[in-house]
Amino acid sequence: PPVRQEPAWPGNFASTSEGFDKLTPEEKQVQIYHCLLKETSVKKLIPEIRRDQGLQEPIIVRWDTQEVIEGNSRLAVYRKLNDEDPDNEIWKEIRCQVVKELTDDQQTRILGQIHLHGRTEWSRYAKALYCYRWVEEQGNDSTTLSEIAGFSKQEINKNVSTIKLMHENNDSKHSNYSYYHVLVRNRSISSAIYESNTLRESLLDKIKTKEFTAQEMRDQLPTIISKPKILRKFQKGEVKLKDAYDRASISGAQRRLKKIREGLEDIEKEDIESLERGEVKAVEQVIRQIRRRLNTVSEMVSRCLSMKTSDS
C-alpha cells in the first residue's frame, strides 16, 4: 500500500495551519504535499533527485503505521516528479527501509540522531515544534526527551515556550519563528515583556505586520527598554523601532543639540530675505542668545574632556 507522510512530523508546517485538524486523512496528505513543495529545501532536492534518477539514501517507513518517519521531503519530490512524468517507472516506487514497528521512544531516538544534532539538522523552528509536540500535545516528560534526543531540559522548555507564544498570537507562519525565538531567549526583552503586558501585546502585533526584522528587534529593543520614556512612545506607535533606537542611543544633551542643529539647517537664504527689518533685528537678537549659550556649552564640554583626559 502507498505510504503516508506523517502529520506529526516537525517539518510538516502544514499541520500548524488553521483548520488542519478538521481535514480528512486524504485531505491532510494533499495539504502536506503542497506545503512541502513550497519549502526551499524541497525545491533544491527536485533537480538533485531528478539528476541522480533516484535516492542516495532510502527513506524510513514504519510498517505498523504505514507512515514515513524519515524522508518526507524526498517522498514529496518523488510524488512531484511522478506527477510531471507519470509514464516514467523510476518515480512510481521509492526506495525505502521498512521498520516493522517502533515505540514512540524509539522513533524519537532515530529522529533525534538524524535531525536534532545529527547529519541532517532540522531548522530551529522544526526542532522547537518537535519539542512542543512531545511535551504539550503528547503529554510526555521533558526529562525523557532530554535523555533520548540529547537536549537539555532548559533548551526543551525554551523551545516549548517559543511555540506556545506563537500559538497564543495565532501565528502559524514558520517564517516568523525568529521573532518569537528572540522574545523568549533575549533576557532583556523576555524580562520586559513579562513585566509589561502592554509591551508584550505591542510587540506581538508588530511582529505580524513585520514592521521590523527579528534581528533589528534583537539588536535595538534592549537599548529602547533602558529608556522608559522612549519605550512608552514606541509602545504607543508614536515612533518606529529605528527612530526609538536612535533616540535611546544618544544622551539627552546630544538629542537637544541635534534638534537645534537640524532646526538651523532648515533655514534657507530666502527665509531671511523675506523678513521685514524689524523681524531681521529680532532674528539677530536670537542668534546672539544662541551664540552665547553655545559658547557656554562648548566651555562645559571642554572642561569635561579635560577632566576625563586627566583621569585616564
pLDDT, tens only, 9-50: 555 555 556 677 788 888 888 888 888 888 888 898 899 999
Q: Which percentage of the chain shows pLDDT scores above 70?
A: 90
Mean pLDDT, the chain, rounded, equals 86
pLDDT at 89 over 90: yes
Supply the pTM of this predicted model. 0.64
The answer, yes or no, to whether residue 185 has pLDDT greater than 50, is yes
Greater pLDDT, 39 or 294: 294
pLDDT score for 17 = 62
Under the banding of pLDDT at 50, 70 and 90, the label for residue 174 is confident
Mean pLDDT throughout 248-270? 84
Q: For residue 61, which phi and psi values (nearest 5 degrees)?
A: -125, 135
Higher pLDDT, 215 or 142: 215
Question: Residue 4 pLDDT more than 70?
Answer: no
pLDDT tens digits, 41-82: 889 889 999 999 998 889 888 888 888 888 888 899 999 999
Q: Each residue of 200-245: pLDDT tens digit?
A: 999 999 999 999 999 999 999 999 999 999 999 999 999 999 999 9
- pLDDT at residue 5, as a whole number: 59
* 312 band by pLDDT with thresholds 50, 70 and 90: low
Of the candidate ranges 40-54, 100-114, 182-196, 235-249, the one whose mean pLDDT is the lowest: 100-114
